[in-house]
A and B are shown apart, each in its own frame.
Chain A
Amino acid sequence: MDEAKVIKLYDAKIGSFIRITSIDLEGVMRRRLLDLGFVRGAVVEVIRRSPLGDPMAFRVSQTTIALRKEESQRIEGELV
């Protein structure tokens, strides 16, 4: 099987689904994102991007959550 392509959430297209593989953040910010459902293995849908590209809205475990570029650039996953 082909290895799935790993991309940053920030670079993902609207409407795509991404299974999270890594979260390169630490401390309170990391904890916050984990609590919001951005955990390894979770599938996230890219909902929309604001006109300037930041923030972006994602759907994760039945809730829509906006992330800033500083966060979405540090979360990676594979397209599903």
Chain B
Amino acid sequence: MKNSYTVALAGNPNTGKSTLFNALTGLKQHTGNWAGKTVSLAEGKVEHKGKTVRIIDLPGTYSLFSNSTDEEVARNYIVFEKPDVTLVVLDATSLERNFNLALQVLEMTTNVIICINLIDEADKQGISINEKALTRKLGVPVIKISARNKTGFTLLLDTIDRIHTGKIVCTPEIIFYDEEIERKIRQIEPLVREYLEDSISSRWVALRLLDGDDSLFQQMEKRLLVKGG
């Protein structure tokens, strides 16, 4: 087991990723509404349980299907740089909107924590969230925090560590599509796996192929040594 590992922060714009990043690393990434939002990757470190945790603050996006540079940066990081753990930061007061991105991340990669932030604000608004039920449903840890008030950090860091050491095994719930799409996935996925082995989720790549995601395939050509390609 490595003595240092990487955690990426993904999420919609304005969900408190940089606030969490700053609180964990002691750095000063710009935070706030709109002005100065994160557009590129910021990196910081935190020591936990005798290990160095590298934390990467990704730009906030509503999607990871690469309709913009921000989305491409975030997607490429998660898929090709493969952080040991991807933390999806959600705004507790706007879960319906936020889960779009969370579900996309759960399709892309396995080691995911759903981090429900602004829990202080949700409490104020009388919103209560059953994180245990969500954990059961999603197959990955769901943790409530307030990045501003620094609550929930101990559980969050411990959970990150337990995923890294293999004490927690994430099993993201698979999203099934209609029969036509599933049939095509069954045809494409074995071929994808032959080329990529287990470097990237073959089901996800098959879905992106079906969607005609050119920008992803350009990246794959650039970055991966494709067998026989």
- Residue among B67, B96, B211 making CB contact with A61, cutoff 8 Å: B96
The 0/1 profile, CB within 8 Å of B marked 1, for residues 33-70 of chain A is 01111000000000000000000000001110000000
Complex: chain B residue closest to A42, CB-CB:
B96
B63 engages A35 (CB within 8 Å): yes
**B153 located at the interface, meaning its Cβ lies under 8 Å from any Cβ of chain A in the complex:** no
B94 engages A36 (CB within 8 Å): no
| Bound: A27/B62 CA distance, A | 17
B94 engages A61 (CB within 8 Å): yes
**B100 located at the interface, meaning its Cβ lies under 8 Å from any Cβ of chain A in the complex:** yes
- Residue among B65, B94, B211, B212 making CB contact with A62, cutoff 8 Å: B94
- Residue among B62, B65, B93, B212 making CB contact with A36, cutoff 8 Å: B62
Q: Which residues of the partner chain A approach B67 to less than 8 Å between Cβ atoms?
A: 28, 31-32, 35
Which A positions have Cβ atoms within 8 angstroms of B?
27-28, 31-32, 34-37, 61-63
Question: Can you list 20 A-B contacts (CB < 8 A)?
Answer: A27-B212, A28-B67, A31-B65, A31-B211, A32-B63, A32-B67, A34-B100, A35-B62, A35-B63, A35-B65, A35-B67, A35-B100, A36-B62, A37-B100, A61-B94, A61-B96, A62-B93, A62-B94, A62-B97, A63-B97
